[in-house]
Amino acid sequence: MIGIAVPAHDEEASLPACLAALLAAACHPALEGEPVVVCIVLDACADGSEAVVRQHQAAFRAAGVVLAYLPVDERRVGAARAVGAEWLLARGARWLAFTDADTRVAPGWLAAQLALDADAACGTVAVDDWSPHRQQAAALREHFATVYHDRDGHHHIHGANLGVSAEAYRKAGGFSAVTCHEDVLLVKALEAAGARLAWTAQPRVFTSARTDARARGGFGDTLLTMLGGTAPCGSSAA
């Protein structure tokens, strides 16, 4: 079984597109019918995120894909990812894939991760709508294209595009329950444990250029800081 964990904090607006993309990826023919379970970890949500997930469950069920949700009150993306991963592992997941609620994965996302034959797949992110930054959108798009390496062999780390085998995840100790950079810490632990990492641009995702950054040092925060000419300390986005 393949497990997908998605942390969400008040993501009512972005979840419909995220879920539609995940369903397409879970039904990709290259998976040859292997069961896929999607777990949305609703972290301290005060909006209609849970209702959005419930509204999509019937469509997932009809396609043979399980869509579950876990309400938690962690208020830390690392802890939320860890909860989702453990829930999926307890149900027999052999591979864990991670993305974010403001991100749309490509139909071949899961298939591309698995085809790499690695212990973990560290993917890149793309932005197809810079308009939230209004008059600064063009400058930010140009700067991002200059400093970001969207190609195989990159060394970016994104929780929005990450996959790891259950065995390697357990060996590395899993996600740390931190506010941000849980993805960076996991990849460092995987490297220390001798995991075979693929630094790849093949599993594609499109993420948000949001201006309401949710985590200090996360991708959205990095974009905002780029406008000032510097990136946050420890940022994995650039």
Q: Provide mean pLDDT across the span 62-78.
A: 96
Q: Provide mean pLDDT across the span 197-224.
A: 72
Could you count the other beta carbons within 10 Å of the beta carbon of residue 44? Answer: 14
Has residue 237 got a pLDDT over 90? no
Nearest CA to 227 among 103, 144, 124? 144
Q: How confident is the model at residue 134 (pLDDT cuts 50, 70, 90)?
A: low
Q: Residue 85: exposed, middle, or buried by beta-carbon count in 10 A (0-12, 13-18, 19+)?
A: buried
Has residue 155 got a pLDDT over 70? yes
Has residue 96 got a pLDDT over 70? yes
Instruction: Give residue-wise pLDDT tens across range 34-47.
Output: 999 999 999 999 99
Instruction: Give residue-wise pLDDT tens across range 173-197.
Output: 999 988 889 999 999 999 999 999 9
pLDDT recorded at residue 223: 54
Q: Provide mean pLDDT across the span 75-83.
A: 95
pLDDT recorded at residue 234: 34
Has residue 213 got a pLDDT over 70? no
- Stretch among 9-23, 98-112, 166-180 having the lowest mean pLDDT: 166-180
Q: Measured between alpha carbons, how far is 57 from 51 in angstroms, rounded to an integer? A: 10
Q: Provide mean pLDDT across the span 158-171.
A: 97
pTM above 0.85, yes or no: yes
Has residue 160 got a pLDDT over 50? yes
pLDDT recorded at residue 225: 55
All structural domains of the chain, each given as residue ranges with its CATH number in brackets, are 2-226 (3.90.550.10)
pLDDT recorded at residue 232: 38
* Non-local CB neighbours of 2 within 8 Å, separated by 6+ positions: 26, 31, 34, 35, 36, 37, 93, 94, 95, 97, 110, 114
Q: Measured between alpha carbons, how far is 59 from 67 in angstroms, rounded to an integer? A: 9
Query: Which has the higher per-residue pLDDT, 67 or 148?
Result: 67
pLDDT recorded at residue 219: 57
Tokens of 197: 């990492």
